[in-house]
Every structure is written in structure tokens, then in C-alpha cells.
Structure 1
Amino acid sequence: MKKLLTALLFAPAVALAAGAAVHLDKAPDVQNDKAALQSGARTFVNYCLNCHGASFVRYNRLTELGLTEHQVKENLLFTADKIGEPMRVAARAGEQKVWFGAAPPDLSLIARARASADGSGADWLYTYLRSFYVDEKRPTGWNNTVFENVGMPHVLWQLQGAQVLNKEHKLELAVPGMLSPAEYDKVVGDLVGFMVWLAEPDAGFRKRLGFGVLAFLVVLFGFAYAMKKQFWKDIK
């Protein structure tokens, strides 16, 4: 029973690790850019929260991104009635199993899970969301060069457009989307940044606290050294 529970716990991370090793593009670091994180939150709620939940985080934590409770309620509160509720998935698990063969994993800790799997974290997510291509052999009509035979459809295809694999087996934009490639990369970068924030909303505070503690220890060392010199100045 214990082995079964362990397997179920790490199943999403194992699934994400599937596929051959590929080149990963560097994801932009937007953790100090609240506008970018707000943009990522908007994309997440509109495109991801239909299938994937983020149930370890409550809607009211989005105020830490510089949003007011009114803004959260009016623009982002789609799957709950109260701002203090978790960011649960809109679809039911039973329905998702019928549609996709398995319920999509919760994305609360996806960035940390991927980082634990092989250290790639945000870079893997950033490359993955930009690597879908049309594949008529797949049930969803989509495949991915980062995660071969992925069951997830390309939910952002209207923004990016439709990519295909050319003769060199490289991605090529066949049908333009609503956004230019650079604009789409920005949207994905913000979305991935938000998922990184989701995985550890207190990361910024923890880092600031760590620097504060180090600064305190440096000052304390100065006082301790001065006191030591004062105590031992008459001893030869």
C-alpha cells in the first residue's frame, strides 16, 4: 500500500520526465515583475484552469501580485464563489478521464516537480509550451517535440498558431496565430513565471529574509570582533 501511494504521488513528475532529451530554451525570470506575473495569472486562469487545478493555492494569494481583492473577484475568480477558496479545476476528474484517458495533474507544484525530476524546472515548461505541432495521428491532433505523444492538446494554439515538423524535423509555423512569435513567447514566459510563483509563493520573502539574516550576522560579527578586541587589549 505504501509503495502504491508513493507511486501515485510521483506519477505526474515521472510522466513529465518522459521523452528523449531535447534542447531547452532559457525561461525568462519574471519573479520580480508583478505585471508579468499578473499577465501569467490571467493566462493561467483563462487557458489552464479549465483542466488543471492549482488547489494548493487560494485565490486571495493573488493579491500578493499587486492585485486588489476586487480585481481578483472580477477578473480571475472563475471556479469558486469566495476569494478564500482554492484554485480548483473547473472540470470534474471523472469527465477528464473520459476525455483524455487520465485526469490532468494539479499544477500547484509543477515547476518544483519538474525541477526535482531533472533540474530543468521553468526551462522545461517554457520550451514545452512552445513546442506543440500538428500531428493527425494523435487523438487530439497535436504532438510535442519535448514530450512525445503527449495527451494534452495545444490549448494556446489560437495565440501561437499551428506549427508543423519540416523535413529537417524542426518546428515551423505553418498557420500564424493571433500573436507574433515574440508576443507568444512573452505570454508563455509570463505564464511559466506565474507557475514558478505558484509552486512557492513565499520564495521572495524567504530570499529577502535570508539576505536580512546574513546582513544581521555580518553586523553582529563586527560588534563581536570589536568586543573581543576590547576584552583582550590588556592581555599580552
Structure 2
Amino acid sequence: KALIAALLHLKKESIHDVVITNPIELGAAISDKDFILDIRVNLNNAQLIDLEMQMSNEYNWPERSISYAARSFDQLNSGEEYKEVLPVHSIGFLNFTLFEDQPEFFATYELRNKKTGHLYSSKFSIHVLDLTRIDLATAEDQNYEIDRWAKLFKAKTWEELRMVAKNNPDLLQASNDLYTVNADEIIRQQARARADAEFWERNKNAKIKRLEDTIVERDNTIAENQKIITENKKMLAEKDAELLRLQKELAKFKANQSSIT
């Protein structure tokens, strides 16, 4: 509740009901490398929040976040009015910088008129929190303590967790929850999150394999070209030698003709 309130700039008291619609079951532990936080929350039965954490850059986050948010937005049943659709806010916690040329700690993207900037709809937004650029946190980010939440996610030791959570009951509760989960070493993702992680891993491996094949093919092409160049040089040397021989014979022939004359 406190995390969502901070990220969406809400008062925690305004959040009366938080329902996780895809609850994570505690079970088999998985490594940090593979861990993908994927939680969908119904807030006050009035808006849907997708929270996802990505530790490694798969170079597809814009498309991935739009796809996930759109999936949540497509929520109406047959016969329901479009105006009844609940707002959807996607929040991504990334352990990398999404746009290297425009680094930003906490960015919000909305549907707006390209010319005037007029908001098309407030029911769809995508938020990106860069865990690697806490140094870029604005005064507003700090006012809502978003930077402290980011530090909580980045903490590597329990001492760091305690220091970050100091004097903040919400952060302290979150750090205690993290401690409990980690101490038991039991986190099992829901089927969708696990399947997604495996899919993106297979996709990455396939890209690496294609790249390796391309490199091998390129190396083979280079080797073949080098062979052709070597053969051409050999042929050229042979032709030069033959030309030199013919020039010598011609000179000898001319010399003999001169002596006869």
C-alpha cells in the first residue's frame, strides 16, 4: 500500500482496499538472476496496478510493458460500457537504464496530443523506475520517498536494509517481509511469471545462437575470401614470372638478329 501510494503520489489513507489478483505463492526459491517480480493489484476496486521488476536488459521493455498494460486494460465483459473500464497503471522497476541518452530515475509516460500535450486519457499510464539512477531522484521523488524504496530494492545486506528503513514504519515492514522471504529461501512465481522468465531466457539464447552462427558464417566468408586472394596472388606471380621469361626471350631474340645483321 505504502509503495503504491508513493509511486502514484497518493495519500496512503486514501487507499482503503488492496487486492493482489495474481497472488505469489511461497515455494521453491529461484535465483536473483531469474527473479521477475510480477504483481497485479486492484486498488480500491477503482484502478488496476501492474508492478514488475526486471533485473537484466532484454532490450524489449517498451513493447513488453505496453503489452502487459494493454492486457490489463482489456478487462470488459460482453455488454459492459467502455466508460466502465478501470484505469491501468504499469510500474516497472528496472535494474538498468531504459534510454541511455535520456536517463531518468522515475519517469511517467501517458497518452497525450503530440502537438498540444493535451492528455488523451488518464486511464492508461506507464511508469519506469531506474534502480541504477537513484542519484537522479528529484525533490518530488524524495518528498514521496521513492528514492528510499529504490534503495530498499537495491540493498545487498540486512544492515543496508535496516539503514534504509530507519524511522519509516512502512519501509521497516517491507524490509522485515523481505527478510522473512529470503531467510526461508522460498519464493515460487505464479505460472505466468515463471513461463515468461523461461520464454525470455529461451528467446535470449536463440538470439545469441543466431549471432554466433552469423559470426561463424562471417569468419568462414573471410577465410574463403583470403583463400581466393592468396590464389589470385599466386596466379599473378606466375603470370609476372611468365611475362619476365617472355621479355628475356624477346631481348635474346633481338640480340641474335642484330648479330646476324
What's the TM-score, normalizing by structure 1? 0.32
* RCO higher in structure (CA 8 A, sep ≥6): 1
Mark the structure with the bigger radius of gyration. 2
